[in-house]
Structure 1
Amino acid sequence: MIPEPDGVMWHKSSYSGSANNCVERGILPTGRHAVRDTEDRARGTLLFEASAWQAFVDAVRDGELDG
């Protein structure tokens, strides 16, 4: 994990409500995607290339990660 990068536009799911027990996704100016824990931002940030993030989103939408 890395410290929080500069220039990230963070957001969390509208399904989260007002609770802080979720993760946030951010988009960097470089097109990379970042993920962090809302409750413990000091733990750092995970970064993903745009293609890796899109592959993850596609897998979720297609149900490939359903248990």
Structure 2
Amino acid sequence: MVTTESGITGWYKSSYSGGDQGECLEVAPGPTTVPVRDSKTTDGPALLFSAGGWTAFLTAVKEGRIKG
């Protein structure tokens, strides 16, 4: 996990986030990790996923193994 002071830039809303449902994630490009944060708390901390971990997470969501 990193804080907002980490200098991560280039945040964008995940294409899997649902409009006004309040369950939105933002991701940012990273050289070795994928930073992810809550779009409602942009000044809060971000989780860092390894590239493989992020891919596994997205695959699990797409396959319905993880539900909100």
Pair in the same fold by TM > 0.5: yes
Q: 1:8 to 1:44 in 2, by over 3 A?
A: same
List runs of 5+ in structure 2 lacking aligned partners.
Answer: none
Q: 1:66 to 1:41 in 2, by over 3 A?
A: closer
CA–CA distance in structure 2, aligned partners of residues 2 and 66 of structure 1: 25
List runs of 5+ in structure 1 lacking aligned partners.
Answer: none
Q: Structure 1 residue runs of 4+, over 3 Å off?
A: none
In the alignment, which residue of structure 1 is the partner of 2:2? 2
- What is the percent sequence identity of the aligned residues? 33
Q: CA deviation at 1:34?
A: 0.9
Q: 1:41 to 1:33 in 2, by over 3 A?
A: same
CA offsets, 1:6-51, max 9 Å, x none?
Answer: 34321114553xx5x42211121x1311111222222211111101
In the alignment, which residue of structure 2 is the partner of 1:40? 41
What is the SS of the residue equivalent to 1:33? strand
Give the counterpart letter for 2:25 in structure 1.
V
How many correspondences in the alignment? 63
Q: Are 2:8 and 2:28, in contact at CA under 8 Å, matched by a contact in 1? A: no
Q: TM-score, normalised by structure 2?
A: 0.68
In the alignment, which residue of structure 1 is the partner of 2:59? 58
Greater CA drift, 33-42 or 4-13: 4-13
Larger radius of gyration: 1
CA–CA distance in structure 2, aligned partners of residues 33 and 66 of structure 1: 21
